[in-house]
Amino acid sequence: MDLNYGFFEYCMVAALIFYAVSTFLTFFRVRRFGSLLLMAGAGINLVALISLGYIGGKWYLFPTLDELRLIPAVMALFAYPLIRGRGRGEAIAVLGSLLIVTCIAVIVQTDPPVPNIKGKSLVASLFFLSEAISAALFLLAGTVAFAALLTDSFFMESLNDLVLWGFVVFTLCQIFGALWAFIGWSYPFSWSTRHLLSASIWCFYGAAIHLRYVGMNTKSKALIIMSGVTPVIFMVYHHEIIELLGVLT
């Protein structure tokens, strides 16, 4: 069975609607139903991703793990306990807005991912999966850090876990990426912008997980972690940002 890219887009629009309604309901304290809609949206999101793998009568794993398109589903899954928790409505709205924006960014993409020989290895799949998970955790951490500035203790408790696990998964991502680069291009690391950006993000969050030991106050810590969102966004959307800058100039 072949599923064209239009099916993926329809599913993503449906997921976007579920995410938006979930955010609206959760903001007004209808959290149980709102969290159920969030999970329904994530389920539709995952169906959309699986449909990307059906190309030419065969199913490929690589398109399903496309980083940009995988992030909204991962964010929704990790946002579930935060939305079900006791966080303030304003903070919930910030989380939901980030999820909605990332979902829209996926929908406006016009070129479907195409399988290639370098992407067929297991290491490549592990690299893209770990990169999407860590990016989603870092983006959520930045949003939760903003929520923590609203003096929401529940979100401050969640912030440390998001940063820690994001760093752990991103460390695995660097290992898988080095192996994939060696298999595909015969070198594990290059002094390219992309590799240096990944290294700088790893160093940043490696330092961020130690902020609890330097006696820094909550707001300063939250502001520092918020600043990490900028390089993560560029890592995820660098092609789109470069294209946009090219159009503007």
- pLDDT at position 87: 58
When pLDDT is averaged across residues 230-241 and rounded to a whole number, the result is: 78
- pLDDT bin (cut points 50, 70, 90) of residue 1 is very low
- Domain regions of the chain by residue span: 1-115, 116-249
Which segment, 6-10, 37-41, 212-216, is predicted with the most confidence on average? Answer: 37-41
pLDDT at residue 205, as a whole number: 95
Residue with tokens 């876990």: 161
- Which pLDDT band holds residue 174 (cuts at 50, 70, 90)? very high
pLDDT band at 63 (very low <50, low <70, confident <90, very high): confident
**Spatial distance between the Cα atoms of 243 and 249, rounded to a whole number of angstroms:** 10
The DSSP code for 191 is S
In terms of Cβ atoms closer than 10 Å to its own Cβ (0-12, 13-18, 19+), residue 184 is: middle
Query: Token digits for 12?
Result: 């993503």
Q: How many CB atoms lie within 10 A of CB 123?
A: 17
188 C-beta neighbours (distance < 10 Å), count: 15
Contact indicator for 144, 82 with CB cutoff of 8 Å: yes
- CA distances to 119, 212, 229 from 201, rounded to whole Å, are 24, 19, 10
pLDDT given at position 110: 60
First to last CA, the chain: 43
In this structure, are residues 83 and 39 in contact, taking their beta carbons and an 8 Å threshold? no
Helix (H) or strand (E) holding 59: strand 58-59
With helix as H, strand as E and coil as C, how does 99-165 read? HHHHHHHHHCCCCCCCCCHHHCCHHHHHHHHHHHHHHHHHHHHHHHHHHHCCCCHHHHHHHHHHHHH
Residue 117 pLDDT > 70:
no
Using alpha carbons only, give the angle 236, 148, 150 rounded to the nearest 5 degrees. Answer: 120
State the pLDDT at residue 106: 82
Q: What is the pLDDT of residue 133?
A: 93
pTM of the model: 0.85
> Which of these, 10, 30, 167, lies nearest to 96 by C-alpha position?
30
Least confident window among 75-79, 174-178, 239-243: 239-243
